[in-house]
A and B are shown apart, each in its own frame.
Chain A
Amino acid sequence: MRDFDFLEPASAAEASRMLLDEPEESRLIAGGTALMLGMRQRMLSPRRLISLGRLEALRGIDFDAKEGLRIGALTRHAELAADPAVQTHYPMLASMAARVANPQVRNQGTLGGNLCYADPATDPPGCLMALDAQVVIQGPDGERRLTIEAFLVDYYTTALEPGELITEIRLPPPAEGDRGHYARHLRTAAEHRPLVNLAAWVRQRGHGCEAARLVVGASTVVPTRVPQAEAYLMAHPPSEATVDATAELIASGITPLSDARGSAAYRREMVRVIARRSLAHLFALPLE
């Protein structure tokens, strides 16, 4: 790893200014789980690391029945998994956070860092997208909010502009009838990065779904909602046939990645299997 300067701003605004000083040579560091690997391999050699470690405003998890959930960007995955409010009101999120990567990463990596890295083979973005989360961004010109869909642009690419950083993640308050299920599928038990993940969220009214957000991750460049599948699910009462048809729509509605970890055809097939199992689980149908 090459030598670098280590900067410790005292506020998000200062961090933003520091980023702008030498944008090409600067990197933010939070948990560092991805950045350190890149630097050790010299894939990245920033001359300045700007640590967010002193920014207390970026920590903490707060829940309000009206405002919903606020997750500080520096929240570690393990903290998210263990938070009582998250477990109570957003069990799908807590369950996801408890399974991300491996224990080392969960204890060190942060939610904000994970989103900014925009690695396709990870879990939080898809789950947050299904939960209709927004990221709060601090930049030189103040604050703005983006949905996860707008925030994630491409492979390892976000909508962050020079000088911007994520300060928190916001989730809308849950309502009666909200149900969610998060599934991550590893190609083999020895892998720590998901081949496919599926975040399924619905708002049930009576026998049907008033709203649905179905997001495929890890097998697509960025997590992808499948509107045709969501529409189908909302139009049909939950049943094995509905689940099968929805799973087919999900599988056919994505453009799967094809790489050393899985061909497009295999990934699409796994999306279908995992979607079917997830939806069956969500509606307590006897498929699983």
Chain B
Amino acid sequence: MSESPIGRDTPQVNARAKVTGRAQYAGDIQLPGMLHAKVLRSPHPHARIRRIDTRAARALPGVKAVLTGADAPDALWGVHHKERRILAREVVRFAGEEVVAVAATSDEIARDALELVTIDYEPLPALFTPEAALAEGATGIHPGRNNVAHEIAFERGSVEAGFAQADLIHEATYTTHAQYPGYLEPMATVAQVDGHGRLQVWASTQSVFLARMRLAAALELPVSRIRVMQTTTGGGFGGKIVEDANSLIAALLALKTGQPVRLVNNRLEDFLGACSSLPERLTLKLGMTREGRIVAKEVTILADCGAYCGLTNEVMHVSAMRSDNMHRLENVRSHAVLSYTHTPPHGAFRGFGGTQMLFALNSHIDTMAEKLGLDPVAIHRLNAIQAGDTSIHGWEVGSTGLMECLDQCTEAIHWAEKRGRRDQAGRRRRGVGLAAAMHVSGNRTIGNWDGSTVVVKLNEDGRALVHSGECDMGQGAMTMLSQVIAHELTLPIEHIQVVPPDTDTSPFAIGTLASRVTMSGGHAAILAARKAKAQLLALAAELSGHAEETLTLIDGAVRLRDADNGEIVADLATLARQHIWRHGGEGLQVSATWDPQTRMHDDDLYGNIASAYSFAAQAVEVEVDTETGRVEVVESFVSDDCGKAFNPLAIHGQTNGATVQAIGWALYEQLQVEEGRIMNGNFADYTLATADAVPMLASGIVESNDPKGPYGAKGASETAILPGAAAIANAVHDAVGVRITDLPITPEKVLAALRAKEDADHA
């Protein structure tokens, strides 16, 4: 009897294809007559385009199209504000903005053609910081508007009254920097117009339907004239939702040339074309009682979205309010402002605004714990929201494993023995730090619905074909869906085939974001499989004459419920064929939709936007070299409350990957932007954590079995990235007594802080 794959370590169903090099990525696609595209980007952060001369480029043999803003549709694209053109027209607003696109018979000719384009720019004064952009009299970066892209302000309870009860009030400002998504596969698209004039797009994307919607709007085409197919996607981390111009440019070139066009970013182009995470300056003021209870919380955020705001409105929204739901709070006030600047745009990134605020909040709790003579773990416990609570913003917390996460990671790191070692001599000092986090599993704010649909077809051999529009970007959607269907139909997982998302054949789906796919897609898959199962049992009853209630599905076949010998009444292949014959040729095919019973927030941001909320805690040990300022993470343990780990292997993979990305953000990665230009758009100078730059990673799972999760599961792809930076900063403080509030924690900053501390100690 084959065992259910639920709860078992299950290798990714597409892993073999990837490691053997057989998986097809967008850049691998070869079509007859396919052209290669290249994009010329603005070298100026802000300039007027006086004239573009493309004659020499167009005259180059092999060049099939040289497009400028004049050739692109008038439509503007963007998530909240329609403000961006496929190719810039008249004005460029950031260094890296797409100005000219070329399609040629080879990549080399396309590159040659770019070198033949001359553009006469009139450089204009640029606004590089939110302070400059928001200053009185600053020029609007977009016509007819000031530079506030978005603003959020709310107060619940009375912050003044809360602070009046506080025994300790602490205020500090934290700055967080932009992180490049750093996926292995840069943005890539192949587009062609088929014989019927329909646009076919193969893309590395997190959402085929959002991609199609955006293509339709930006190209001024009916949605039905476009088909988007997801190719194997080598990571997205939020960067491949809807904010890059790659697929728009490829599609525009395909429409203009009538030939297939391939546009694959090289790494430098990807650094320039992709959105990095939203840099924010957060001022946090907390009031606590002497026991550590938070009685008032005031948050002020100034965020810099760059030249185009994309999804950053939503990102800042998360920073402004999500962390409030972790705690039992009564008095909170938040004011957040998003500013345009003449810098490369920022956008969605794993954690989606949570990392920024949780760096501030966890650093703050650590600081206040010390002032109050408390263990920060005690403060996290004392304030933690509990299952059954409704948070201050209306979030209904059905489950939380935060307490167990705190237990697990503090035990693993030997918190009690290691915290506060004051007897250390020598130049290298060790310390431990901890942080806690909360995340959503789904998000109703995307369109006031958050559902998903799964279609299951049973083939004549009794194996299942599964259609879902939710994208697997490497996180494991295909494996998750396979596990669910295999479990429900009692089939071996090898008998399940998940079809890659295709807007022509897949049911509609929002796509892979907000840690929603296991929640919504998983539920839909359960419903679809159970519908199929019911039809199978009914058909078996009809064929065999047994009463339906005496039948059940075991091990891929319908059997008598009470039979001890497991005699088969009908196998699935037989039933699948019988279904076809008995339904005039219609095979067994079911569709099921699951939409979470969540509530969109009101104008005051009160609502319950996700069906479940996941939690995590992380404890790290660091070693600080007091002479070089180098910080190394020597041990890390992340404990993730994912509700129910129905694939522990995948959960640990997500957790470890998130941990590395958090370590990179905290210690290693830093975009160097000078006068609005990215100076280090390559992996030699933008240093992602490599295998030798991280410790042996350890992670644990807490199963809080959420009542609303599929089999109790919650999202598990983002939560683990949230606590890392603060845990490291807190560990640095524990080791050497300096508090770094400005990410990344560079050796220079640590040394400067150590010197300042030394001076203060001797003063």
A190 touches B668 (CB 8 A): yes
> Could you tell me the distance between the alpha carbons of A42 and B667 in the complex, rounded to whole angstroms?
32
A189 touches B668 (CB 8 A): yes
B679 touches A189 (CB 8 A): no
Assess A190 versus B688: contact at CB under 8 Å? Given A1-B108, A42-B111: yes
A190 touches B680 (CB 8 A): no
Interface string of A261-287 (1 = CB under 8 A from B): 111001001100110000000000000
Centre residue among B268, B630, B689 by max chain A CB count within 10 A: B630
B630 touches A188 (CB 8 A): yes
How many whole Å from A78's CB to the nearest CB in chain B?
Answer: 16
Q: Out of A190, A193, A263, A270, which one reaches B628, CB within 8 Å?
A: A270
A188 touches B108 (CB 8 A): no
> Could you tell me the distance between the alpha carbons of A257 and B342 in the complex, rounded to whole angstroms?
30
The chain B residue with its CB closest to the CB of A102 is B690
Tell me the interface secondary structure of chain A in the complex. loop
B748 touches A266 (CB 8 A): yes
A191 at interface by CB-CB < 8 Å: yes
Residues of B close to A187: CB separation below 8 A: 630, 747
A185 touches B685 (CB 8 A): no
Residues of A close to B628: CB separation below 8 A: 185, 270, 273-274
B672 touches A189 (CB 8 A): no
A188 touches B685 (CB 8 A): no
> Could you tell me the distance between the alpha carbons of A273 and B626 in the complex, rounded to whole angstroms?
10
> Could you tell me the distance between the alpha carbons of A273 and B630 in the complex, rounded to whole angstroms?
12
B632 at interface by CB-CB < 8 Å: yes
Assess A2 versus B108: contact at CB under 8 Å? Given A189-B630, A189-B693: yes
A190 touches B693 (CB 8 A): yes
> Could you tell me the distance between the alpha carbons of A274 and B751 in the complex, rounded to whole angstroms?
15
A65 at interface by CB-CB < 8 Å: no
A47 at interface by CB-CB < 8 Å: no
> Could you tell me the distance between the alpha carbons of A168 and B602 in the complex, rounded to whole angstroms?
75
B687 at interface by CB-CB < 8 Å: yes
B220 at interface by CB-CB < 8 Å: no
Interface string of A179-206 (1 = CB under 8 A from B): 0000001011111110000000000000
- Within 653-708 of B, Cβ neighbours of A (below 8 Å) are at 664, 667-669, 672, 679-680, 684-685, 687-690, 692-693
Residues of A close to B747: CB separation below 8 A: 187-188, 266
Residues of B close to A262: CB separation below 8 A: 748
> Could you tell me the distance between the alpha carbons of A2 and B628 in the complex, rounded to whole angstroms?
43
The chain A residue with its CB closest to the CB of B668 is A190
Residues of B close to A102: CB separation below 8 A: 690
B690 touches A190 (CB 8 A): yes
The chain B residue with its CB closest to the CB of A288 is B427
B71 at interface by CB-CB < 8 Å: no
How many whole Å from A3's CB to the nearest CB in chain B?
Answer: 8
Assess A191 versus B679: contact at CB under 8 Å? Given A2-B108, A266-B748, A273-B627: no
Residues of B close to A269: CB separation below 8 A: 751
How many whole Å from A178's CB to the nearest CB in chain B?
Answer: 28
> Could you tell me the distance between the alpha carbons of A263 and B751 in the complex, rounded to whole angstroms?
13
Q: Out of A3, A42, A260, which one reaches B685, CB within 8 Å?
A: A260
How many whole Å from B466's CB to the nearest CB in chain A?
Answer: 39
Residues of B close to A191: CB separation below 8 A: 668, 687
Residues of A close to B680: CB separation below 8 A: 260
- Within 95-154 of A, Cβ neighbours of B (below 8 Å) are at 102
> Could you tell me the distance between the alpha carbons of A187 and B672 in the complex, rounded to whole angstroms?
16
The chain B residue with its CB closest to the CB of A189 is B693
Interface string of B726-763 (1 = CB under 8 A from A): 00000000000000000000111001000000000000
How many whole Å from B179's CB to the nearest CB in chain A?
Answer: 13
Jot down 30 A-B pairs with beta carbons below 8 A, ordered by A: A1-B108, A41-B268, A42-B111, A102-B690, A185-B628, A187-B630, A188-B630, A188-B667, A188-B668, A188-B687, A188-B693, A189-B630, A189-B667, A189-B668, A189-B692, A189-B693, A190-B669, A190-B687, A190-B688, A190-B690, A191-B668, A192-B684, A192-B687, A260-B672, A260-B680, A260-B685, A262-B748, A266-B751, A273-B628, A274-B628
Return the 10 tightest CB-CB contacts between A and B, nearest first.
A190-B668, A189-B693, A190-B693, A190-B687, A273-B627, A190-B689, A191-B687, A188-B668, A260-B672, A266-B748
Q: Which residues of B contact A (CB under 8 A)?
A: 108, 111, 268, 627-628, 630, 632, 664, 667-669, 672, 679-680, 684-685, 687-690, 692-693, 746-748, 751
Q: Which residues of A contact B (CB under 8 A)?
A: 1-3, 41-42, 102, 185, 187-193, 260-263, 266, 269-270, 273-274
